[in-house]
Amino acid sequence: MPNLKLDAIDRKILAALQRNARLTNVELADEIGLSPSPCLRRVKILEEAGVIAGYHANLSRGELGLGLTVFVGIKVERHHGTAPDVFRDAIQKVPQVIACHLVSGEADFLLQVVVPDLAAYEQLLIGTLLNLPGVSDIRSNFAIRTLKETVPLPLGHLPQ
């Protein structure tokens, strides 16, 4: 649960900004039925509390030539000492890895990788991923088609 108590107006602000983060404060205030000053004050509180972590442009991977998405399961040799930190620091330096999750199950980490094509993935796999510190096994799953992506977070679970 968030440390900050979110009321109905906060949830409206969050929903509106998820739909369109480029709204001006005046547009946002109009949309949620608040005057601009209190609206801006609430947005600043949400930002300072870390509820709003940032504002981003949603880019088209295909239009940018990043047509292949690969989900990569990585198993590491050791889970103690500095090994996890060394792996974490190394993976941060790989720009093709757009998400990295510590997971349970067959793999220890699940990466989301975007590259132009299979040849680019092969180069990344052989030249970088297999050489990451502590890696003992890699399993690659290729996305055939994306059915749902970059949708707003569900806010319905938040207390009233």
Whole-angstrom distance, CA of residue 113 vs CA of residue 102: 15
Confidence of residue 154 (pLDDT cuts 50, 70, 90): confident
Q: What is the pLDDT of residues 96-140, one digit of tens each?
A: 999 999 999 999 999 999 999 999 999 999 999 999 999 999 999
CATH annotation of 8-48: 1.10.10.10
What's the CATH fold of domain 68-142? Alpha-Beta Plaits (3.30.70)
Residue 70 CB partners (closer than 8 Å, separation 6+): 111, 112, 113, 114, 115, 121, 140, 141, 142, 143
Locate the domains of the chain by residue range: 8-48, 68-142
The amino acid that residue 84 corresponds to is P
Residue 1 is predicted with a pLDDT of 43
The neighbour count for residue 33, using CB atoms within 10 Å, is 9
Q: What is the pLDDT of residues 24-49, one digit of tens each?
A: 999 999 999 999 999 999 999 999 99
